[in-house]
Amino acid sequence: MLQSDDIVILGGGLAGLFCALKLAPRPVTVVTAAPIGEGASSAWAQGGIAAAVSDGDTPEKHTADTVAAGAGLVVERIARQMADEAGDRVRDLLEYGVPFDQDLEGALVCSREAAHSENRVVRVKGDQAGQAIMAAIAAAVRDTPSIRVLEGFVGEEIVKTRHRATGLLVRRVEDGHAFLLTTRAIVIATGGIGTLFARTTNPPQACGQGLALAVKAGAVLADCEFVQFHPTAIDVPGDPTPLASEALRGEGGILVDGTGHRFMAAYHAQADLAPRDVVARAVHEQIERGKGAYLDCRDAVGDRFAEHFPSIFRVCMEAGIDPRSAPIPVVPAAHYHMGGILVDATGRTTVDGLWACGEAASSGAHGANRLASNSLLESVVFADRIARDLGGLLPVPALIPARDSETSGGLEFSNGDANRAELRAVMSAKVSVVRHATGLAEALQTISAIERAAWSQSGRNTVLAAKAIAASALLREESRGAHFRSDFPDPRPEWAHRTFLTLTDINRAAQASQNRSAPDAA
């Protein structure tokens, strides 16, 4: 058994580590499956962090762009608070040693990405923001005595006492042994759900564990149907799929089909800089039509590629593509989850003693479609807010014995690789860029069958996250933002609200799908 005398943070990405640093010198235990920073989507972020820090830009403009991208579902108050605090959080990151790009006078260099009205994306060497931020934050965490890091552990269950979260059951990856951490507060910062899909830009740890833990503990989920598919993942072998940053289009890169024809102008007035959901569907359609989709940066970047976008350049060259002289083949891939655990402005969930931040949470800041480079911003803003909210809590140490049934057992499930592959395949085929009632009902039936297999607790958590997404997508009978239903291709006024789900709602939708008679797919 392990004992924690105060706060447990589940997740070793930017949100969790930033929260731990902001809580110092208060004792904190960080639980993470991979070494801190290494299993986090934040480390793979290429574009940067959005903040109104350049001349002529304002938090009001940033908020307006965020609201516009969110397709009517952004909680504007939350978005404005996030934009207001962006500059302070960027300065925090600078103090932690993040080497943001600066000009000769020391001013931050900002670039523009899709759907931004100003240059407001703060970067590091073009495409290395996530990697540089995580390296600096991880180093700061290791140098902070009040932070205890438990690497190689996964969270499996939240323990409650009188309706309050009071403990976290964790399992060691190496040997499958279970331990109970007792605590005054739990912060879920486990990241997203990308690896529920066959094509994703996310690391293997992004499988929805935190979302499942929370909903099983009684927390409400929000907006789970809204999964953002990045339109320009590089179409080369590999899992995860490497990413061609949106910053390339910000530099002037253009999307073309196999004949070299620019196609985005036919889909949106902003053409190649249209919101991600529009671009993802356009790329998907070009591929489905057999025309192919390519990102042509030869004129926009050309010989500057190796210097300005070294990570992307390296991936392309290793795949036999020279982006200086040839267009880059691209494909949509699961990238970011706007949905997650419902939280308020301080990161509190609907369960006492439980907070959430980062991609695992749904604050309403992103609505139906996240604005580019707002993900890292939301992570640090809400991590800071949670730290301030937890500052008023007194530690209440307690020991709760782990049940015998929880002290052993592996992390895998029977026929695990095949079941995982089947889950990812059905999510990509039926719950991806374009959805339909028939496919969603079939997906829920397949997911339910996989759930009945001999899964471990971690496996059951993964399938529950997939079921939540598919159920929420089936319930929303309209198209809005990143959620597109071919049987309901337009937004509907009666659906201009967020989606909230409990565990009962998820299971009820899954059960209804077993006997659902849906119209033929279009």
State the catalytic residues.
276
Closest by Cα among 438, 440, 491 to 468? 440
Rounded-to-integer distance, Cα 32 and Cα 47, Å: 25
φ, ψ dihedrals at 217, nearest 5°? -85, 0
What single-letter DSSP state applies at residue 166? E
Structural element, H or E, at residue 441: helix 437-451
What would the 3-class secondary structure string for 30-77 be?
EEECCCCCCCCHHHHCCCCEECCCCCCCCHHHHHHHHHHHCCCCCCHH
Contacts of residue 406, defined as CB under 8 A and 6 or more positions apart, other chains included, come to 157, 169, 178, 180
Q: Would strands 185-188 and 7-10 be described as parallel, antiparallel, or unpaired?
A: parallel
CA end-to-end span of the chain: 55
Q: What Å distances lie between residue 248 and 216, 274, 301, 430, 486, CA to CA?
A: 41, 13, 8, 30, 30
Rounded-to-integer distance, Cα 292 and Cα 449, Å: 35
Structural element, H or E, at residue 280: helix 276-288
Token code pair at residue 198 = 């066959």
Which value, to the nearest 10 degrees, does the dihedral of the CA atoms of residues 77, 78, 81, 86 take? -140
Rounded-to-integer distance, Cα 422 and Cα 427, Å: 9
Asked if 216 and 464 count as a contact pair (C-beta separation under 8 A), the reply is yes
Asked if 279 and 231 count as a contact pair (C-beta separation under 8 A), the reply is yes
Token code pair at residue 31 = 């639980």
Closest by Cα among 186, 153, 152 to 170? 153
Q: How many CA atoms lie within 13 A of 329 on its CB side?
A: 13
Rounded-to-integer distance, Cα 336 and Cα 231, Å: 12
Rounded-to-integer distance, Cα 10 and Cα 491, Å: 36
Closest by Cα among 479, 466, 485, 482 to 428? 466
Question: Checking phi first, is residue 353 left (phi over 0); if not, alpha (psi -120 to 50) or beta?
Answer: left
